Amino acid sequence: DNDTADDNMLWTSSSSGSLTWVNITITGAPEGSSLTITSGGSKWWSHPLLGDNDAENFNCLEPNSNFEMVNHCDYGFTHSIVIDDTDSTTIRGLLSDQLPLSGLGTIRADNLSAAKDDSVSILEGANMSVSWQIELSHDSAIDNDAVDLDVTIVSNTLNGVEKFQLNPFVESIWSLTALMSCFVMALALPLGIYYASIKREQRLNRLRNVYDESE
């Protein structure tokens, strides 16, 4: 649903399921306007660096108190951003810290049946119904026809559970590469010192020979 005023636009919607990502993109909003998203029924995480492939010193869900420069997501019902790009502005968020964020997840279990039960339990535990209110506001009038809003919310389902298996050939290649790297590193320093000492001794011998011949 969409309600509009001269300096305000308001959208409402709802979503349900085992939800993870929420991605809200607005285009055509006037510079300096404010986009505010409020959820009803569940808090969620958000941060300007969330989903940014170039983000540094950022860990959304696990802030490390030992590193003051590490940014982490804010957790609450409402998140907002000031529009500084009239072409496109995006707010990303997470609704669950239990579901896999990339679509595939791993769990530990004694057998395949237990793994399936655990997977179903995780999905059921993350099942929720969320209502959304998205508001765009500005000090002056907003051109409603120029504004476009796109909302994507990811709902997870269980497509299957498989036992994780290693590829023996690939693992052998990696092991051999690691072994050779360690071998080279272990020999590089002593061989370098040995070679340098030999060259030094040869240089000293040449100097001695030159000195003896001059006498």
Residues 196 and 107 both lie in one domain:
no
Same domain for 43 and 12 = yes
Q: What is the pLDDT of residue 68?
A: 53
Where a domain ends, among 113, 137, 156? Answer: 156
Domain contains 161: no
pLDDT tens digit string along 178-212?
A: 888 877 777 777 777 877 888 887 777 777 776 66
Q: Which of 71, 120, 76 is nearest to 94 (CA)?
A: 76
Q: If we measure between CA atoms, which residue out of 43, 55, 47, 49 comes closest to residue 19? A: 43
Report the pLDDT averaged over residues 60-80: 74
Query: Between 50 and 106, where is the model more confident?
Result: 50
Q: Are residues 50 and 123 in the same domain?
A: yes
What tokens were used for 125?
A: 């535990």
Residue 162 falls inside a structural domain: no
Question: Could you list the residue range(s) of the whole structural domain that residue 10 is in?
Answer: 2-156
Q: How far is the C-alpha of 132 from the C-alpha of 41, rounded, in Å?
A: 9
Same domain, 112 and 213: no
C-alpha distances in Å from residue 8, one per residue of 29, 31, 34, 89: 11, 14, 10, 17
**Residue 156 scores a pLDDT above 80:** yes
Specify the number of domains making up the chain.
2
Pick the last residue of a domain from 156, 185, 202.
156
Q: pLDDT by residue (tens digit) across 93-148?
A: 999 888 877 777 778 888 888 888 888 888 888 899 999 999 999 988 888 888 99
Domain boundary among 156, 184, 204: 156
Q: pTM of the predicted model, to two decimals? A: 0.66
pLDDT value of position 207: 72
